[in-house]
Amino acid sequence: MSIEIDRRLLLKAGAFGLGALAAPGAAQLRAARGFTHNVASGEPGARSVMLWTRYVPETGGHGRLSYQVAADEGFSRIAAYGTATADPEHDFCVKPIARGLEPARWYFYRFRDSRGRFSPVGRTRTLPEGRTERIRIAAFSCANLPGGWFNAYGHAAARGDLDLVLHLGDYLYEYQEGRYPRGIPSLPGRLLDPQSEVVQLADYRLRYAAYRADPDLQRLHQMFPMIMMWDDHESANNSWSGGAENHQPEREGSWDVRKAAAMRACREWLPVSENEWESYELGDLATLFRLETRLTARSRPPAYAEALAGRQDAMAALTEFRDGAWRDPARTMLGGEQERWLADGLRRSVRQGTKWQLLAQQVVVGRAVLAPQVAGWLTPAASAELRQQVQVGVGAGRFGLPFTLDSWDGYPAARARLLRSALDSDSNLIVLSGDSHNAWAFDLALDGTPAGAEFAVQSVTSWGYESYLPWVDPAQLARAMVAHNPDLKWAETGRRGYLILDLTPERASGEWLFLDTVRQRSTAIAARYAMSATRGAKRFGLG
């Protein structure tokens, strides 16, 4: 059998066969040998790209691999090649960087083991250099394996019009089997490994292996380069530099040890840089800044429960909280070093004539308080926990306080510094955000001055507001939130999917795509919604 035929068969296996490992469960995943999880690429530049695969030798130990990058699918025009070693120290994952490539070019790549067996063939693309008329990016967030099929990945993987893929975090979830989504049955065959909560390095590695066995996720990685970042669930829910809501030191040990394990596993299993934050030049069209808002510098988030604890006068307590802890300028999302790096990068991008400054980061930047009519929508079926959350949220809103404190809304001084950097540099700021599970379009302003536009991405599978208020029409909830929040221009609170961002020199256009279902395998699109911002307007819909 010729090498070409082998390559075609392996490409087909990468699309359909290897993903079947998800069905038999953990035992087969752990026993897999050879190229266990297809291929991937990331960290693209104009002349380089990071390649990824995982190779487990049949006899254990180290596996010596070679790789090829070619300008054609038949590998007759080799553009780059090299070697890599798969070893147990890095869970048999390799991440070589192919260099010497040409800008704005599609390439094909593959790995080969010492016995002449090839990996599936991947496809990747370098970033443009110089004058650039268009970039089309797909953005994803919040993919929970037991909660649904990754139909959004499957739909995007079949597209022929994308240049780049972004993942804004919550690539996986750390919870034990049955914990999340609560009240929504896990789908048969969507098995977690391990079934317990992931805490140790071995746990995180196994969880990545379970997620990366999904055929749609494999295919997306195989077809496009991806720039990605972690949010909280790659470590633990609502994490910050010194801890997390879902970390209990008395039972789970040191947070620093757990955090280091989570970061290491992420860097092993994904084609990502070792740098916590990074920037990417998309020709003269955009500078993309990948931020880190979770683990390296984020201050401990405030909590309404703490502000109200032991206080008889709730109004006085919320006033004190608003004027004190909430506004504390010492509290940070990025830390001083990253804030300075971003401010310098924005100024440099504008000075060099780049059209757009694009922030790819984890959590929503826009301001939002809970619409007061939500309290009237509660029914006797609402849990005591939900009633309390809504009552506190509505009460906080009366004082101008946000519903969630885990996003930039919980760090208003840090947000003001971010937007001030954008205004001082005269940036044409576009922000991409994830985490919330729902789709939002926010105008970003500082003291009434337009500073940018935010496209907040709905989840791939994780359930949003519709799971908390299932008796409320999501469209009704969205209308109430938009009506009550001047900066919120549009919202969708009941569907899953992904976002396409289309950049041209004069316009940033976003289209949210909503899948028909995640409870069955289907790539049918049930709805779409589009909004755009014109360069220079620094807000939605105005030129």
Secondary structure in 3-state letters for 108-159: EEEEECCCCCECCCEEEECCCCCCCCCEEEEEECCCCCCCCCCHHHHHHHCC
For the chain, give the percent of residues with pLDDT over 70. Answer: 94
Count of beta carbons in the 10 Å neighbourhood of residue 460: 31
Assigned domain for 135 exists:
yes
Confidence of residue 126 (pLDDT cuts 50, 70, 90): very high
Distance between CA atoms of residues 173 and 152, nearest Å: 17
User: Do 87 and 168 belong together in one domain?
Assistant: no
Q: Cis (ω within 30 of 0) for the bond into 181? A: yes
User: Do 115 and 212 belong together in one domain?
Assistant: no
- Residue 60: partners with Cβ closer than 8 Å, 6 or more residues away: 88
Write down the mean pLDDT value for the chain. 93
CATH of the domain at 212: 3.60.21.70
pLDDT at 541 over 60: yes
Assigned domain for 266 exists:
no
Confidence of residue 532 (pLDDT cuts 50, 70, 90): very high
Assigned domain for 29 exists:
yes
Distance between CA atoms of residues 395 and 388, nearest Å: 10
Distance between CA atoms of residues 81 and 103, nearest Å: 17
Confidence of residue 475 (pLDDT cuts 50, 70, 90): very high
Q: Give the range among 67-71, 158-162, 379-383 with minimum mean pLDDT.
A: 379-383
What tokens does 516 get? 């028909």
Helix axes 314-323, 384-397, angle to 10 degrees: 60
Q: How many domains does the chain have?
A: 2
User: Do 410 and 518 belong together in one domain?
Assistant: yes
**What are the E-state strand segments in 213-254?**
225-228, 239-240, 243-244
Assigned domain for 248 exists:
no
User: Do 33 and 176 belong together in one domain?
Assistant: no
Distance between CA atoms of residues 317 and 520, nearest Å: 47
Could you tell me which of 338, 334, 212 has the C-alpha nearest to residue 268?
Answer: 212
Given 126, 151, 172, which residue is the final one in a domain? Answer: 126
Could you tell me which of 263, 219, 274 has the C-alpha nearest to residue 241?
Answer: 263
pLDDT at 31 over 90: no
User: Do 107 and 131 belong together in one domain?
Assistant: no
User: Do 115 and 132 belong together in one domain?
Assistant: no
Q: Furthest-apart CA pair in the chain: how many Å?
A: 80
What tokens does 140 get? 């994803």
Per the structure, the complete domain to which residue 19 belongs is given by 1-126
Per-residue pLDDT, 20: 32
Given 101, 126, 151, which residue is the final one in a domain? Answer: 126
Assigned domain for 198 exists:
yes
Could you tell me which of 415, 475, 462, 411 has the C-alpha nearest to residue 434?
Answer: 462
Distance between CA atoms of residues 358 and 427, nearest Å: 9
User: Do 105 and 134 belong together in one domain?
Assistant: no
What tokens does 155 get? 């739909």
User: Do 161 and 118 belong together in one domain?
Assistant: no
More confident residue, 95 or 8: 95
Per-residue pLDDT, 11: 34
Span 233-266, pLDDT tens digits:
999 999 999 999 999 999 999 999 999 999 999 9
- List the strands of the sheet with 78-86, edge to edge: 78-86, 63-70, 106-112, 122-125
70 bridge partner residues: 78, 108
Distance between CA atoms of residues 317 and 301, nearest Å: 17
User: Do 32 and 159 belong together in one domain?
Assistant: no
Assigned domain for 245 exists:
no
Assigned domain for 495 exists:
yes
User: Do 14 and 52 belong together in one domain?
Assistant: yes
Distance between CA atoms of residues 214 and 172, nearest Å: 12
Confidence of residue 61 (pLDDT cuts 50, 70, 90): confident
Q: Is 420 helix (H, G, I), strand (E, B) or coil?
A: helix
User: Do 357 and 409 belong together in one domain?
Assistant: yes
User: Do 95 and 175 belong together in one domain?
Assistant: no
Angle at 18 between CA 14 and CA 22, to 5 degrees: 135
For the chain, give the percent of residues with pLDDT over 90. Answer: 87
Given 68, 93, 126, which residue is the final one in a domain? Answer: 126
Assigned domain for 267 exists:
no
CATH of the domain at 103: 2.60.40.380
Confidence of residue 51 (pLDDT cuts 50, 70, 90): very high
| Region 171-193 average pLDDT | 87
Span 387-433, pLDDT tens digits:
999 999 999 999 999 999 999 999 999 999 999 999 999 999 999 99
Q: Write the single-letter amino acid at 165.
A: V
Could you tell me which of 492, 486, 494 has the C-alpha nearest to residue 529?
Answer: 492
What tokens does 380 get? 């006797």
